[in-house]
């Protein structure tokens, strides 16, 4: 699990911003959103321009050099904080793997070139690459000539990737678990179509996926159960790549009938079919096109998954103890991110209307 993340000098974040998921409060309700002593699910709120989308993207930077999965193509166009473009962007990930505390830190320049890299396991440094020098623990006997080549290379080689691909490691080795976690992360958004990062390295249309997997009936049931929309889908014929509906005896392609909200639900269905393969999921502005009650239904389904899933939203209707807890609702503002329970001196209980408290401006991040 990801239990802590920090980034500095990234896009709009001039200073270091830290997100700690490792210290949930002692609430006695909705304990399904806590897993292995860390927060499994949550929602990030914040005013427009506070950096919710950029924060989500920052978490997924690790995909860019540890995996071959799909990446956001214009990601490095606006990478470094504009006020200090010569300063590196630094990332810090804390993971809990098989009771081991794994800390992976690195920095990049404004073009995304890896400048430094450090891996620590239970306070023991496994490797440290910085300023064109490399220190590696005895567990990985790398010859000095190889170290020099890596340190002086111009193609930004990741030492973590090199060790992972060179040495035979057990499947439960901390480095194998680190790379596998990064390889299984998923970020997606429906605001500008099907945008995603990670989890898979191929593209396909959602209609093709649903037809190929034989999920037409399940898709129709999903739309009805979650939004009460009823579609009469025709049985696909061999080689069909488009969903078609029957409307009073007339065949109409489904994509002609979809509203913006239904398109967003279609995308959600697609990724929910794959979320079981994911290690960590971030859905940006997940309910931009949803009715507020539909947003609640979506959250209930997502948060029942075993996967670590976080959402960003402006919908304070979701800020209720019936769905989450005060330690799982986060406010991002002024280069800080904190759970609601740390934004007030008031003791928050299950019966409190935390949305009303939030609207009264009683939660202060500073």
DSSP per residue over 47-58, as a string?
Answer: -TTSSHHHHHHH
pLDDT at 154: 62
Structure token digits, residue 177: 């678990």
What would the pLDDT profile of 309-344 be if each residue is shown by its tens digit?
999 999 999 999 999 999 999 999 999 999 999 999
Quote the CA–CA distance of 101 and 37 in Å, as a whole number.
Answer: 13
pLDDT at 155: 65
What would the pLDDT profile of 26-80 be if each residue is shown by its tens digit?
999 999 999 999 999 999 999 888 999 999 999 999 999 899 888 877 888 889 9
pLDDT at 238: 85
Quote the CA–CA distance of 153 and 77 in Å, as a whole number.
Answer: 23
The residues of the chain scoring below 70 in pLDDT are 154-155
Helices 216-227 & 292-303 angle (0-180, nearest 10): 120
pLDDT at 180: 96
pLDDT at 246: 96
pLDDT at 201: 81
Which run of H or E residues covers position 227? Answer: helix 216-227
Strands (E), 206-303: 244-247, 250-253, 280-283
Prediction pTM value: 0.94
pLDDT at 243: 97
pLDDT at 59: 97
């Amino acid at each position: 699990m990801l239990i802590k993340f920090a980034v500095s000098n990234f896009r709009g974040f001039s200073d270091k911003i830290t997100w700690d998921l490792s210290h949930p409060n002692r609430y006695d309700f909705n304990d399904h959103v806590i897993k292995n002593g860390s927060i499994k699910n949550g929602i990030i709120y914040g005013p427009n321009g506070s950096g919710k989308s950029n924060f989500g993207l920052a978490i997924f930077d690790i995909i860019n050099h540890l995996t071959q999965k799909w990446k956001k193509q214009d990601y490095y166009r606006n990478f470094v904080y504009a006020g200090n473009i010569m300063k590196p962007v630094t990332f810090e990930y804390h993971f809990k793997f098989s009771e081991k505390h794994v800390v992976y830190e690195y920095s990049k320049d404004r073009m995304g070139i890896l400048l430094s890299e450090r891996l620590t396991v239970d306070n023991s440094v496994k490797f440290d690459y910085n300023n064109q020098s490399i220190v590696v623990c005895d567990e990985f006997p790398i010859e000095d000539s190889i170290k020099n080549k890596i340190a002086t290379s111009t193609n930004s080689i990741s030492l973590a990737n090199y060790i992972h691909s060179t040495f035979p490691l057990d499947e439960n080795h901390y480095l194998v678990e680190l790379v596998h976690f990064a390889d299984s992360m998923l970020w997606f958004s429906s605001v500008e179509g099907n945008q995603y990062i990670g989890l898979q390295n191929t593209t396909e249309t959602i209609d093709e996926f649903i037809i190929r997997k034989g999920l037409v009936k399940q898709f129709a049931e999903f739309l009805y159960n979650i939004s009460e929309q009823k579609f009469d889908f025709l049985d696909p014929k061999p080689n069909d790549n488009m969903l078609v509906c029957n409307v009073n005896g007339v065949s109409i392609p489904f994509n002609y009938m979809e509203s913006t909200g239904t398109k967003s639900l279609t995308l959600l269905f697609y990724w929910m079919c794959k979320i079981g393969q994911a290690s960590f999921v971030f859905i940006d502005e997940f309910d931009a096109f949803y009715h507020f009650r539909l947003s609640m239904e979506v959250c209930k389904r997502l948060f029942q998954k075993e996967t670590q899933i976080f959402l960003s939203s402006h919908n304070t209707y979701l800020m209720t103890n019936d769905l989450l807890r005060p330690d799982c609702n986060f406010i991002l503002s002024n280069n800080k991110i904190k759970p609601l329970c740390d934004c007030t001196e008031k003791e928050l209980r299950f019966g409190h209307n935390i949305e009303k408290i939030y609207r009264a401006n009683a939660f202060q991040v500073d």
